[in-house]
Structure 1
Amino acid sequence: MRVLAAGDHFVRPGLIIAALRDEPGLADVDVAELTLPWPHEPFGPVGGPESRVIEASGTEEQLIEALAGAEVCVTQMAPFTAGVFAARPELRMVAVSRGGPVNVDLPAATRAGVAVSFAPGRNATAAAEFAIGMMLAAMRRIPTADAELRAGRWRGDFYAYEEGGIELDGATVGLVGYGAIGRIVARVLRAFGAQVLIADPYTDPETARADGVEPVELDELLTRSSVVSLHARLTPETKGLIDAGRIARMRPGAVLVNTARGGLLDYAPLPEALRTGRLGALALDVYDLEPPPADWPLHSAPNVVTTPHLAGATRQTAHRAAAITAAEVGRYARGEKLAHPAN
């Protein structure tokens, strides 16, 4: 069996190969390498306006050439379009080392008889820790204070009562979504002494209560929480979930954090909500348009913390991604059922 390790500059080909070698039965597997340009070059849609591949790196031609003789490909970003499947009929499996196979045309893969797997939970710890960091940064104005001091301004006035931040200890924090990431965030918040509310229609209420969190409806969560953090998956049902109406229901001065997906949030009302104090602070790692344009209104809004979609960017995430996909290749090679099938 020949495997193509189509890595990039995060989940490197070397990590994929090392994980494959550690998998029982794959120590001597024939592996070819391809290094795609992400993240040094942005990902994007590949294959034309009708393509189902919306987030990928590299070109179809590059991938088709590298796949010569390969039965399996392990990748994070390679563009598996209908054209690629048509050009390489010998391909039988694609193991995608990310939380969803958005770089694969799944209907085309299914028609071609190619099994596709993915790597749920690979960045859960990284994303959860990052969300906590964003909460603290927004609640205590850490980036603003840092920027002011670097600019030569000693902002002792930040100690004034009206400028003071809020603590997690004793605060009510609402988590919208209670999957793998949300559960880790809740555990850390409880260690800080926060009361945690969760809104997730797919979570069993008794399970949530056993975890020490309180399940409530979304509107109740918004009205009770001093901090609201988004951790839901982006689906047709959750797109625009937090819109102007729901922002208006939030407690005056509440902190809103989005490290999940940009599409969960309506960004248009946010600048005004910050200027009026409806929102006390906003922390964002994801956006409706990535990267945001230079004239983006939130660049000039007060009390905003922004990072460029980095929540999952840890070395441990890259290692876990490689290990999860290598294990799937091992199952395929042994004729076992895949643990994380996408089609």
Structure 2
Amino acid sequence: MTRILAAGDHFVAPELFIDAIRARVGESTDLAFTSLTLDWPLEPFGRIGTVDEASGSIPRLIEALDGVEIAVTQMAAFSREVFENTPDLRLISVCRGGPVNVDLAAATAAGVIVAFAPGRNAVAAAEFAIGLMLAAMRRVVTSDSELKSGQWRGDYYTYENAGLELDGATVGLIGYGAIGSIVSRVLRAFGATVLAHDPYANAATVAADGVELVDLPELLSRSSVVSLHARLTAETHHLLNAQNLKLLPHGAVLVNSARGGLLDYAPLPDMLASGRLGALALDVYDIEPPPPEWPLLAAPNVVMTPHLAGATRQTAQRAATIAAADVALYLDGDRPRAVANPEVWSVLEGRSAR
């Protein structure tokens, strides 16, 4: 019998994992499930032990992993201490775009395969980014709030205060992976010219999409709207900063629904106050949630949402389905589709061959 831990939360519930695995492998497979429900998103994720963007208690996770060979999760804190106390664990399937809540070095040293789910929220995140753009460009959130408080802002129809259209605009996308490519498709349907900056993108693929691949300074200097869709790494931390943000045209709109660390938030209040930055739309922050004294909370022309870009029911269902597919492949002796530490699989595959 194979024991599986479904370490879910209040978005991707344990039952979603279990139902998806049962549907994929069949009821006849000899499996025993243990469930664990983490507090996210009712409580923010954070750093736990040696991992980031995690939820839950390490001792509680270790207890739930007793005798478990396979774990499926979104947010559980697979810190170094976990691997030191779970000798039976062989596979973790993390149903998110990157397994940041897993200590990859510790997992590799322990011989545990770490699978993940790139693209699981690509549609949701892309749609949300477009929504943020429109909200910022057309003052949707600001005017809604003002009207409900009794203000009828006729001055928003003056030429100086009027909004911007996507049709005919040049929009720069920083990052052209699963999300960025969907965003570009929607933008081109609106009639926008799309630029992209992504050193890892395939130039032929980008060109075939009708998108121009350019370096970062050119993208910033030509784009009236810039939207972030890159992964956060040591290389991309503060990719946009006080120095290169000055390249933006006066009144440009900036959207970040990717990761807070991609953007240096310090210069933004002054840029908004001066009109250098026309509007800002944020779903992610350098500190989550932002503290009450955070300057951008009182800055003009800012749209803010609490890290909701991926929050659709379809994303949760898709995440569980991807994790279930990983489990099924592993049970059949095959490699999961996206593995963060392929060297572990190579070792296991070599043992099987012998």
TM-score bin (small chain): over 0.9
Which residue, 112, 130, 135 being the options, matches 2:133? Answer: 135
Distance in 2 between residues matched to 1:227 and 1:23, nearest whole Å: 43
Q: Does 1:119 align with 2:121?
A: no
Whole-angstrom distance in 1 between the partners of 2:308 and 2:227: 16
**1:149 corresponds to 2:147:** yes
Partner of 1:160: 158
Residue 23 of structure 2: aligned partner: 22
Rounded to whole Å, the distance in 1 between the matches of 2:119 and 2:78 is 22
Distance 1:164 1:149 in 2: 17
Taking the TM superposition and a 5 Å limit, the aligned residue runs for 1:261-276 are 261-276=259-274
What does residue 63 of structure 1 align with? 61
**Letter of the 1:21 counterpart:** R
Contact 2:44 2:288 in 1 (8 A): no
Ranges of 4+ aligned residues in structure 1 off by more than 2 Å: 24-29
Partner of residue 340, structure 2: 342
Question: Counterparts in 2 of 1:1-343, with a 5 A limit?
Answer: 1-25=2-26, 28=29, 29-47=31-49, 51=50, 53-343=51-341
| SS of equivalent to 1:310 | coil
Aligned to 2:348: none
Q: Distance in 2 between matches of 1:42 and 1:216?
A: 36
Once the two structures are TM-superposed, the CA of residue 314 in structure 1 deviates from its matched residue by 0.6
Q: Which amino acid aligns with 2:157?
A: Y
Q: 2:93 & 2:126 partners in 1: Cα distance?
A: 24
Q: Which amino acid aligns with 1:249?
A: L
> What CA deviation, in whole Å up to 9, does each residue of 1:12-39 have, x standing for no partner?
0111011101113565422111111111
- Residues 12 and 277 (structure 1), Cα distance of their counterparts in 2 relative to 1, 3 Å cut: same
Separation (CA, whole Å) in 1 of partners of 2:78 and 2:40 = 15
Shift of 1:191: 0.5
Which sections of structure 1, spanning at least 5 residues, go unmatched?
Answer: none
* Separation (CA, whole Å) in 2 of partners of 1:40 and 1:281: 29
Letter in 2 for 1:8: D
Provide the C-alpha distance between the structure 2 equivalents of 1:282 and 1:232, rounded to a whole number of angstroms: 18
Q: 1:68 deviation in Å?
A: 2.0
CA contact (8 A) 1:25 1:330 kept: no
2:347 maps to none
SS, match of residue 249 in structure 1:
coil
CA displacement 1:309-333 (0-9 Å, x = unmatched): 1101111110111011110011110
Report how far residue 206 of structure 1 moved: 2.2
Q: Give the percent of matched residue pairs that are identical in Structure 1 and Structure 2.
A: 66
The whole-number CA distance in structure 2 between the counterparts of 1:132 and 1:252 is 21
TM-superposed deviation, 1:89: 0.3
| 2:133–2:281 CA contact under 8 A, matched in 1 | yes
The count of residues paired between Structure 1 and Structure 2 equals 339
Structure 2 letter corresponding to 1:100: G
- Tell me how far apart the structure 2 counterparts of residues 183 and 239 of structure 1 sit (CA, whole Å): 22
C-alpha displacement of 1:42: 1.6
Cα 1:223–1:70 change in 2 (3 A) is same
Q: Is 1:20–1:27's contact at 8 Å kept on the other side of the alignment?
A: no
Distance 1:150 1:107, change over 3 A: same
Root-mean-square deviation (Å): 1.1
Per-residue CA distance 1:177-230 (angstroms, 9 max, x = gap): 101000000000001011101111112222211101111111111111110111
Once residues 197 and 143 of structure 2 are traced to their aligned partners in structure 1, the CA distance between those partners, rounded to angstroms, is 33
What secondary structure sits across from 2:11 in the alignment?
coil
Amino acid across the alignment from 2:84: A
Q: CA deviation at 1:240?
A: 0.9
Q: Distance in 1 between matches of 2:5 and 2:305?
A: 33
- Listed one character per residue, the Cα deviations across residues 278-325 of structure 1 (whole Å, up to 9, x for unaligned) are 110000111111111111111111100011111011111101110111
Residue type of the alignment partner of 2:92: V
Question: How many Å separate the matches in 2 of 1:199 and 1:83?
Answer: 39
3-state SS of paired residue (1:154): coil
Task: Say if 2:326 and 2:337, in contact at 8 Å, map to a contact too.
Answer: yes
Q: Counterpart of 1:69 in structure 2: which amino acid?
A: G
